[in-house]
Amino acid sequence: MNHSSERLWTPSFITLTLCNLLLFMGLQMTLSTLPAYAEGTLQASSVQVSLVTSLFALSAIASRLFSGKAMEKGGRNLLIFLGLAVSITAVAGYYWAGSILALLLLRMLFGIGFGMASTAFPTMASDIIPIQRMGEGMGYFGLSTSLAMSAGPLIGLSLLQGPGFGSLLICTAAALVLILPLSYRLTTKLPAHHKEPAAPQVTELKGGAFRRLFIPCLLNFLLSVSYGGLLGFLALYGAEAHLEHIAYFFLFNAVAIVVVRPLSGKIYDRFGPPALLIPGSLFIVAGLLQLSFASSTAALFPAAIFYGIGFGSMQPALQTWMIQSVEPRQRGMANGMFFNSLDLGVAIGTMILGSIALYTSYGVMYRYSALAPVLLLLIYTTLLLAKRYNRQKSAPKTSTSHSVAK
């Protein structure tokens, strides 16, 4: 049987991918712009600026602690519609936030709503992707997330610097509102529990699933630390380094992601995580170092391309790895942990890197942020070498036992 011929691009998969794109566009258009707005309009301190990002991320993490359990019990409809309603309310409230305290409270509210919806969509996608094409399918689905992470900040910064803050909020709310009719079709058409072909499943208890997810969660956390520095401070770095078109970084980054994503999913299905995580880490380090020394818009091009190749190949690999580490009914939990480790990395990365920038500069800060993917690479290669050593160590015992049996 040719598993590659199993249909991937079904109407439901396309709709889910579009919903996820709009959801993350709504997030990313404000995630990179609100820190600059808080500093310029609300006179927020550097610590308060970092809280604009970190409090959102921590609220999303708290929200997902019960969202994954709700998915297991079939509560996806409530998660989607309640999450979207809360998120849209928070975005509308930004316009009337006259103080940094009000803005921070609304960011926490937005994090709660976003945490609900962002757990539901990838879990529903993993339920309808053919199991033999999971890496490829999640690669394409994850392209919507990465594309939004790149195009969203570009659009958001352009709106903030052009038409203004009000136009930014209208476009953000519109992206979220568009999800409502699309998601209604999904919740009425998709089955509550998708039936899959027989495949190896995890037979351990939930504690065993958590142990399986710990390593990819840790690696995803380290990957997200550097991304927190881009979201929280790239606009401020552009002003410091006199880079008038700093938003182009996100444009070039998006181009690289679009190119690498389709290929990376197929590489994962054939060779597994090492083929993507090891070179991807090196690309991210190169991108961050190039960015830290950028003195012109032209210098942003290779920095963004390197970072986009690394991030665009590593993030879906980690998500697919986590989904394949648990039983189908635990995919809500796996996706929740994936996004929680991402948001935790963004939150902690923003706070730590913001403190570094306070005493040095944003350029130096990006050099320090390159230590996170270096640590990721060291941890992962150490685990691979240890696994290979244990395998070689046990090989003679296996052959001896076979000879005795004979």
How many domains is the chain built from?
2
Both tokens assigned to 66: 């019960």
Q: Based on the fold, state whether residues 178 and 216 are members of the same structural domain.
A: no
d(CA 44, CA 330): 41
Distance of CA 320 to the CA centre of its chain: 12
Indicate if 142 and 231 belong to the same structural domain. Answer: no
Instruction: Judge whether 36 lies within some domain.
Output: yes
d(CA 204, CA 346): 31
How many beta carbons lie within 10 A of that of residue 135, not counting itself? 27
Do 122 and 213 lie in one domain? The reply is no
Task: Decide if 395 is inside a domain.
Answer: no
Is 383 among the domain residues? yes
Shared domain for 153 and 279, answered yes or no, is no
Instruction: Indicate the residue among 157, 190, 223 that finishes a domain.
Output: 190
Nearest to 70 by CA among 27, 106, 104, 116: 116
User: Is 196 part of a structural domain of the chain?
Assistant: no
Q: Do 63 and 144 share a domain, yes or no?
A: yes
Same domain? For 312 and 352 the reply is: yes
Domain that holds residue 16: 9-190
Residues 138 and 215 in one domain: no
178 and 64, same domain (yes or no): yes
Q: Where among 162, 190, 218 does a domain terminate?
A: 190
pLDDT at 111: 92
Residue 48 lies in a domain: yes
What CATH number has the domain bearing residue 135? 1.20.1250.20
In a domain, 198, yes or no: no
Instruction: Per residue of the chain (406 residues), give pLDDT as tens.
Output: 444 457 888 888 899 999 999 999 999 898 878 888 888 888 877 778 778 878 888 898 888 877 766 666 666 777 888 999 999 999 999 999 888 899 999 999 999 999 888 888 887 887 888 877 777 788 788 778 877 877 888 888 889 888 989 999 999 999 999 999 988 777 655 544 444 433 334 334 355 666 788 899 999 999 999 888 887 788 788 888 888 788 788 888 888 988 888 788 888 888 889 999 999 999 999 999 999 998 888 888 999 999 999 998 998 889 889 888 888 777 777 877 888 898 889 888 888 998 898 888 889 999 999 999 999 999 999 999 988 888 877 765 544 444 434 3
Q: Specify the pTM.
A: 0.73
Instruction: Indicate if 257 and 156 belong to the same structural domain.
Output: no
Report pLDDT for 397. 56
Residues 155 and 226 in one domain: no
Do residues 153 and 234 touch, judged by C-beta distance below 8 A? yes
Do residue 214 and residue 262 come from a single domain? yes
Query: Mapped to the 3 state alphabet, what secondary structure does the chain carry?
Result: CCHHHCCCCCHHHHHHHHHHHHHHHHHHHHHCCHHHHHHHCCCCCHHHHHHHHHHHHHHHHHHHHHHHHHHHCCCHHHHHHHHHHHHHHHHHHHCCCCCHHHHHHHHHHHHHHHHHHHHHHHHHHHHHCCHHHHHHHHHHHHHHHHHHHHHHHHHHHHHHHCCCHHHHHHHHHHHHHHHHHHHHHHHHHCCCCCCCCCCCCCCCCHHHHHHHHHHHHHHHHHHHHHHHHHHHHHHHHHHHCCCCCCCHHHHHHHHHHHHHHHHHHHHHHHHCCHHHHHHHHHHHHHHHHHHHCCCCHHHHHHHHHHHHHHHHHHHHHHHHHHHCCCCHHHHHHHHHHHHHHHHHHHHHHHHHHHHHHHHCCHHHHHHHHCHHHHHHHHHHHHHHHHHHHHHHHHHHHHHHHHHHHC
Question: Is 1 inside any structural domain?
Answer: no
The pLDDT value given to residue 199: 38
Q: How many angstroms separate the CA atoms of 379 and 373, rounded?
A: 10
**Residues 140 and 217 grouped into a single domain:** no
| pLDDT value, residue 394 | 74
Dihedral sign, CA of 60, 61, 67, 71?
A: positive
Q: Is residue 298 part of a domain?
A: yes
Supply the pLDDT for residue 8.
82
